Amino acid sequence: MKFLWGSATSAYQIEGNNTGADWWEWDGGRSGRASFFWEKWEEVIELLHELKHQAFRMSIEWSRVFPRPYEADREALEKYRRIIESLMDRGIEPVITLHHFTNPIWFSRMGGWERGENVSHFLRFIESVIPILEGVKFVITINEPNVYAFRSYVEGYWPPQEKSLWKALKVLSGLKEAHIRAYELLKSRTSASVSIAQNMMVFEPAWKWSPVHWIFTIMTDYMFNWYFPDRIKDHMDFLGINYYSRGFVLWPGSIRYRGNERNCMGWEVYPEGLYRVIKRAFRRYGKPIMITENGICTNNDFQRIKFLKEHVEQVMRARQEGIPVIGYLYWSLMDNYEWAEGFGPRFGLLEVDYERGKYRIRRSALFYSEIIETDGLAAL
Ligand code: BGC
């Protein structure tokens, strides 16, 4: 299978005006027109083509397709189909995510993922999306169930701002059920390879001579990295990994970042960690691996070039060892709405001028095109 080089995005972060999403209600629509994708998707696809991307990860916004619980919006579905087709027409493989953090407002009001019986609503959404997935080879059911459960139900930083371990476990169990049933549905009706995108981190003890911190580290590593994929391992055709950083564990679930090189949000830049998570995940599951996200927010584009070079090197190292890594998607194609952090952090290969609704190609985007053209060799 040909290795796929490309980039990743999510609907809520780039489309704009997703007024039916719970996140929109929560922050009063602060994302506004976001990165203008819903208006300018044709231009974006031209840019992807120009930059030689072979794959593009995007999500379908559930709340756009189902602004109300039982009635799909045909127009929205048709537009998503046009986007998917025009990617395929240009030889760009769409990687389609079905849940990327946001839910329809009505779904959250009925208890969201805390209630097992609500899973049927997600399946109805998938039923209506299946016809527009024709020709799509990769589907991600759920993005980062671990991050979603942690941020929204343990830390209470994201909506619905709960701080309850018990609720977090219920949410994870709802998401597991949703994934397994979605997997079965998708496998019976499409020819796509199906998985999740799991955020994976490298964890190390904050004090390496302290046995208790080693125990905290093992617990954190298990809960964050493996708890969810272990439960769905018989229902994934490959594993999507989103990798960003390494954390030093102070307390179970509580980490600090260290190191001289950081991204704009303070996360350590630790390229070798990408190799380490690929290797561990392959040992554990024996499935092909796709890097469904890896990227940096920075105001210094040279730092992004260095980041790309050093992380692609680690991907090449894993490939050279014979680990079946099937793709690498840089996060993100364009600057976008970084959730609670808003528009500050810039992850894009394309710079977005939020005032004027314009895109500009960064130098890192051109460097990445060279990586793509040489199948990774330009990074070595
Ligand atoms: C998420 C993205 C987010 C990125 C950078 C990932 O956890 O899937 O939506 O923008 O990290 O924080």
Q: At what angle do helices 301-320 and 272-285 cross, to 10 degrees?
A: 40
Query: How do residues 239-278 score in pLDDT, each as one tens digit?
Result: 999 999 999 999 999 999 999 999 999 999 999 999 999 9
pLDDT at site 122: 98
pLDDT at site 368: 98
Residue whose Cα lies nearest atom 3 of ligand 1: it is 338
Query: Which residues have any ligand 1 atom within 6 Å of their CB?
Result: 10, 13, 143-144, 147, 199, 242, 293, 331, 338
Mean pLDDT of the chain: 98
312: CATH? 3.20.20.80
pLDDT at site 140: 99
Residue 149 pLDDT > 90: yes
Examine residue 241 and state whether it is found in any structural domain, yes or no: no
Examine residue 38 and state whether it is found in any structural domain, yes or no: yes
Residue 344 pLDDT > 90: yes
Residue whose Cα lies nearest atom 9 of ligand 1: it is 10
DSSP letter at 111 equals T
Examine residue 224 and state whether it is found in any structural domain, yes or no: no
- Interacting residues of 89 by C-beta distance below 8 A, sequence separation 6+: none
Examine residue 142 and state whether it is found in any structural domain, yes or no: yes
Examine residue 298 and state whether it is found in any structural domain, yes or no: yes
- Burial code of 260-298, b = ≥16 C-beta within 10 A, e = fewer? eebbbbebbbbbebbbbbbbbbbeebebbbbbbbbbbbb
What share of the chain in percent tops pLDDT 90?
100
Residue 312 pLDDT > 90: yes
The pTM of this model reads 0.98
Q: Sorting pLDDT into bands at 50, 70 and 90, what band is 178?
A: very high
Which two three-digit tokens encode residue 33?
């027109």
Examine residue 225 and state whether it is found in any structural domain, yes or no: no
Structural domain tally of the chain? 1
Residue 157 pLDDT > 90: yes
Cα of 11 from ligand 1 centre, angstroms: 12
Examine residue 231 and state whether it is found in any structural domain, yes or no: no
Cα of 210 from ligand 1 centre, angstroms: 32
- Domain with 169 in it: 4-197+268-280+288-379
Examine residue 262 and state whether it is found in any structural domain, yes or no: no
Residue 1 pLDDT > 90: no
CB 277 within 8 A of CB 202: yes
Query: How do residues 6-27 score in pLDDT, each as one tens digit?
Result: 999 999 999 999 999 999 999 9
